[in-house]
Amino acid sequence: MLRNKTRSVRVGNLTIGGNDHVVIQSMCNTKTKNVKATVEQIKRLEDAGCELVRLAVFDQTDAKAIKDIKEQVSIPLVADIHFDYRLALTAIESGIDKIRINPGNIGNIDHTRAVVEACKKKHIPIRIGVNSGSIEKDILKKYGKPTAEGMIVSAMKHVQILEDLDFHDIVISLKSSNTLMTIQAYELAAKTFDYPLHVGVTEAGTALGGTIKSAFGIGNILYQGIGNTIRVSLSDDPVEEIKVAKTLLKELGLAKNVPTLVSCPTCGRIQYDMIPITREIESFLNDIHADITVAIMGCAVNGPGEAKNADIAIAGGVGEGLLIKKGEIIRKVKQEDMAEELKKEILAMVRGCNEI
C-alpha cells in the first residue's frame, strides 16, 4: 500500500515516517515509579510485537524512574507529560527517547525553549497530542464544539511554537473518541502537515467496542495512506492492544511476520467441537512471528477449499478432521488431538523458516 510521504523522525533505533513501516505502540498502565512492574509490562508488550511504549510521567519520581527502566528494556520509550516542563527535562536527563507534550500548555516560552534545547541536544522528537476533549477555549468558541477543523487549528498553534524555535523533529496526533471526527482530522492533517502522524481513536472502550472503533477508524485512515505509527486504545491489558494492532496492520498489508487465522463461523453441518480448538490456536499464534496462514474449517463444504489456500489447515469431519499442509492431505486426526497436532505442524513450519 502506498503511504503518504512525510518527514521522518528517529526515536531510539526506530524511524517514524518517511517511507518506513507503520510502528506499533502502546502505553503502560503501571505506575512508572514502580520500575519492576513497568519493566515486566514493557517486556510483555515487546514479546507481543510492540515497538514503542509510552509511560505516564506524573511527578519527578516517575521521571527519574525512566533511567532504571531504560537500563532493563530494549525498545524505545516515550514520556507522556502534561503541563510541567520540569518533568520533561528530568525525563530527557533520564534517557527518554521521545516526549509527548503540547508546547502551548507548559507556560511561558522560556519553559518551551528549555525543553526544545534539551531535545535538540539529544535528538529527541516531540509528539504534539491534540485531543478533541481538550481543545483550547478560544478555538472551541470559534467552532462552537469540538471539530476536526478545531483540532487542526490547535495542532497548528503548537507546531508553530516549535517551528519558531527551529525544532522540526515533530510527530502529531489528533485523537477523538468520535471515530468519524478522528478520520476527518487525520485527512485534514495529511493535507496540512508534512510531519509524521501518530494515529489512534482515543478512549475507544473495551476490547470489543474498542477493537471495532479502532479497526474502523485507524483502518480507514491507514487505508488512505495516512499514518506512520498507531496505538489501539483499549480498556484492557495493553498486550491486547498489540494483538489488535498487528491483526489490523496485517489485513491492510502493512505488517510482516504476523500469522493469519482463517476459521469458519460453524453451522448446523459441523460434526466436531471446533470453537475451543480455534480459540486455543488463536492464542498459540499470538507468540508466532511468521507470515503463515492457518485455517480451521468445520466441514467438507468449504473446508478443503480454504485449506488449500492455507499453509496448514484442519478440515473437519465426524469427530475428526483432515490435516492439510500446503494443499496436500497429510493425515486424519481425532478431535482430541487436533489442537496439539496443529501446533506441532505450525512450529515445524515456522522453525523451518527461522521466523519464530
Q: Which residues are annotated as a binding site?
A: 264, 267, 299, 306
Selected from 30, 224, 266, 286, the binder of ligand SF4 by CB under 6 A is 266
Selected from 5, 269, 279, 334, the binder of ligand SF4 by CB under 6 A is 269
The site that binds ligand SF4 (CB under 6 A) totals a number of residues, namely 12
Binding positions for [4Fe-4S] cluster: 264, 267, 299, 306
Q: Which residues within the stretch 289-318 sit at the binding site for ligand SF4 (CB under 6 A)? A: 297-299, 301-303
State the Cα–Cα distance between residues 352 and 7, nearest whole angstrom: 38
Taking the least distance from each CB to ligand SF4, the nearer of 76 and 316 is 316
Taking the least distance from each CB to ligand SF4, the nearer of 34 and 266 is 266
Q: From the CB of 303, what's the least distance to ligand SF4, in Å?
A: 5
Length of the chain: 356
Rule CB under 6 A: is residue 322 a binding residue for ligand SF4?
no
Q: From the CB of 274, what's the least distance to ligand SF4, in Å?
A: 8
3-state secondary structure 76-105: CEEEECCCCHHHHHHHHHCCCCEEECCHHH
123: exposed, middle or buried (C-beta count within 10 Å: 0-12, 13-18, 19+)?
exposed
Q: From the CB of 333, what's the least distance to ligand SF4, in Å?
A: 17
Selected from 267, 329, 347, 353, the binder of ligand SF4 by CB under 6 A is 267
Rule CB under 6 A: is residue 4 a binding residue for ligand SF4?
no
Task: Extract the C-alpha cell encoding 20.
Answer: 518506513
Taking the least distance from each CB to ligand SF4, the nearer of 69 and 264 is 264
Taking the least distance from each CB to ligand SF4, the nearer of 255 and 274 is 274
Which DSSP symbol is given to 197? B
Rule CB under 6 A: is residue 275 a binding residue for ligand SF4?
no
Residue 287 CB partners (closer than 8 Å, separation 6+)? 47
Rule CB under 6 A: is residue 60 a binding residue for ligand SF4?
no
Selected from 126, 264, 312, 333, the binder of ligand SF4 by CB under 6 A is 264
Taking the least distance from each CB to ligand SF4, the nearer of 47 and 273 is 273
Q: Which residue is nearest to ligand SF4 (CB)?
A: 298
State the Cα–Cα distance between residues 314 and 325, nearest whole angstrom: 9
Answer whether 95's CB lies under 8 Å from 123's CB.
no
Taking the least distance from each CB to ligand SF4, the nearer of 196 and 298 is 298
Rule CB under 6 A: is residue 265 a binding residue for ligand SF4?
yes
State the Cα–Cα distance between residues 127 and 112, nearest whole angstrom: 13
Residue 217 sits at φ, ψ, to 5 deg, of: -70, -60
Query: Which H/E stretch holds residue 10?
Result: strand 8-11
Measured CA distances, 314 to 52, 73, 307 (Å): 36, 39, 7
Residue 295 sits at φ, ψ, to 5 deg, of: -115, 135
- Which positions touch ligand SF4 (CB under 6 A)? 264-267, 269-270, 297-299, 301-303
